[in-house]
Amino acid sequence: MAADREISEQTTWMLAIRDRRDKQAFARLFDHYAPRLKGFVIRSGLDAAQAEEVVQDVMLTIWRKAEQFDPERAQVSGWIYQITRNRQIDVVRRVARAVPEELKHEDDHEPDPGQVLALEEETGKLKQALKRLKPEQRTMIEKAYLGDLTHQEIQAQTGLPLGTIKSRIRLGLDRLRHELKELREP
């Protein structure tokens, strides 16, 4: 990276993930981007459940493919939003719907400061909602989103049936959706 260019906090987190597999940095990156990505995906035409699936897949991809991040080639936000767009297109194709026009003409730019402030507030509410989940739901969501674990790896670690793991994640996400309902309403 050029010596005269200051790197963002998000880039610092991403480099820590890439270079040291830093789970705390990933948690910060997750807290920062997950609500933004979900809003981005919903505004582009997917429903809330599909958006959650896309965000979960994107965050797992970020963790698994962190070594591919190159700050010389792209800003961390551009890299993450490109992964999100690609995953969203996969979901749209899977349900055999056309790609929304908004996706085809979306610019690669940072959100305006008003959006950033609103999303920071949403992030705080999300953290509080996570704390109110049942421990077993919160644990499964943390393992799926923050851990380096697939559902099968969670099953091997916990000994729980795969259906139980998926149910706890889904119920936890449903509870979060309910808790954060006011964020979606205009």
**pLDDT tens column, 30-57:** 999 999 999 999 888 888 888 999 999 9
Average pLDDT, the chain: 82
> In the structure, what pLDDT confidence band is assigned to residue 64 with cuts at 50, 70 and 90?
very high
At residue 101, does pLDDT exceed 80? no
Q: How high is the pLDDT of residue 2?
A: 44
Q: Domain check: are 100 and 119 in the same one?
A: no
Confidence band, pLDDT 50/70/90 cuts, at residue 3 = very low
- Total count of domains within the chain: 2
Buried b (16+ CB within 10 A) or exposed e, 61-72: bbbeebeebebe
Q: Residues 161, 180: one domain?
A: yes
- Rounded-to-integer distance, Cα 160 and Cα 144, Å: 14
* First-last CA distance in the chain: 41
0.75 exceeded by pTM = no
Q: What 8-state DSSP symbol labels residue 164?
A: H
- Do 65 and 157 fall into the same domain? no
Same domain, 163 and 129: yes
Q: Do 60 and 13 share a structural domain?
A: yes
43 is in which domain, residue-wise?
A: 1-110
Same domain flag for 50 and 132 = no
d(CA 141, CA 2): 38
Are 83 and 16 in contact, with CB atoms under 8 Å apart?
A: no
156 and 173 both lie in a single domain:
yes
Question: In terms of domains, do 76 and 3 share one?
Answer: yes
Same domain, 159 and 176: yes
The CATH number covering residue 183 comes to 1.10.10.10
How do residues 169-180 score in pLDDT, each as one tens digit?
Answer: 889 888 888 877
Higher pLDDT, 3 or 36: 36
Question: What does the block give as tokens for 138?
Answer: 């919160």
Alpha-carbon distance of 84 to 32, in angstroms, equals 14
5 and 55 fall within a common domain:
yes
Q: Which of 110, 141, 159 is the last residue before a domain boundary?
A: 110
Q: Which of 34, 30, 4, 37 is nearest to 16 (CA)?
A: 30
Tell me, what's the pLDDT at 76? 93
Choosing from 110, 144, 175, the residue where a domain stops is 110
The domain spanning residue 68 has which CATH number? 1.10.1740.10
Are 104 and 14 in a shared domain? yes
Beta-carbon contacts of residue 81 (< 8 Å; ≥ 6 apart) = 37, 40, 108
Residue 74 neighbours by CB under 8 Å, 6+ apart: 82
Burial of residue 36 (CB within 10 Å: 0-12, 13-18, 19+) is buried
Q: Of the candidates 47, 78, 110, which is a domain's last residue?
A: 110
Looking at the fold, whether 27 and 97 belong to one and the same domain comes out as yes
